């Protein structure tokens, strides 16, 4: 069943809250990385100016925050799907992902059936190896 406006709003709020929490966490990581980097440059102060999420993500590519970063990317993608109206639609089969699944994982891009198939074909997102 397609999401109701109320369900979409709830998921939107959950995405924003999770994104804010992640951004706070990641900014602290970036600060730490920059501090380490700038200490090598004889105490040049890092620029605390407001920066775009894109800049943050670029910096984080150099930091050891892979898991948080991929979650943030997933949430950013979810936000743009919310904006263009494709949120909640399975990327593989075009069916509805379902409210319960989205509540558990607001960044989900596939319905459960397609996600299960995807993990069988490509391995799970957690990177389990053979
Ligand atoms: Zn699907």
> At 128, is the pLDDT very low, low, confident or very high (cuts 50, 70, 90)?
very low
What is the 67 CA–ligand 1 centroid distance (Å)? 24
User: What is the token pair recorded at 15?
Assistant: 């995405």
User: What is the token pair recorded at 92?
Assistant: 């593989």
Helices and strands in the chain, H and E counts? 5, 0
What is the 71 CA–ligand 1 centroid distance (Å)? 20
CA-wise closest residue to 127 among 76, 67, 63, 81? 67
What is the 52 CA–ligand 1 centroid distance (Å)? 33
For the cut 90, the answer to whether the pLDDT of residue 108 exceeds it is yes
What is the 83 CA–ligand 1 centroid distance (Å)? 21
What is the 48 CA–ligand 1 centroid distance (Å)? 43
What is the 65 CA–ligand 1 centroid distance (Å)? 29
pLDDT tens digits along 16-34: 999 999 999 888 888 887 7
Question: What phi-psi label fits residue 85: left (phi over 0), alpha (psi between -120 and 50 degrees) or beta?
Answer: left
What is the 119 CA–ligand 1 centroid distance (Å)? 13
User: What is the token pair recorded at 52?
Assistant: 């775009």
What is the 113 CA–ligand 1 centroid distance (Å)? 6
pLDDT tens digits along 48-102: 555 577 777 766 666 667 778 889 999 999 999 999 999 999 999 999 999 999 9
Quick one: which H or E segment has residue 13?
helix 5-39
What is the 1 CA–ligand 1 centroid distance (Å)? 13
User: What is the token pair recorded at 8?
Assistant: 């979409």
């Amino acid at each position: 069943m397609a999401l109701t406006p109320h369900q979409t709003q709830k998921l939107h709020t959950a995405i924003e809250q999770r994104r804010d929490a992640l951004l706070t966490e990641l900014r602290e990581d970036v600060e730490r990385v920059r501090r380490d980097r700038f200490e090598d440059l004889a105490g040049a102060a890092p620029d605390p100016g407001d920066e775009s999420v894109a800049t943050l993500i670029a910096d984080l590519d150099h930091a050891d925050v892979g898991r948080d970063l991929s979650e943030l990317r997933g949430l950013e993608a979810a936000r743009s799907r919310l904006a263009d109206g494709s949120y909640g639609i399975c990327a593989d089969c075009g069916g509805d992902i379902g409210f319960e699944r989205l509540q558990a994982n607001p960044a989900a891009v596939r319905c459960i059936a397609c996600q299960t198939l995807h993990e069988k074909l490509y391995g799970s997102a957690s990177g389990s190896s053979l």
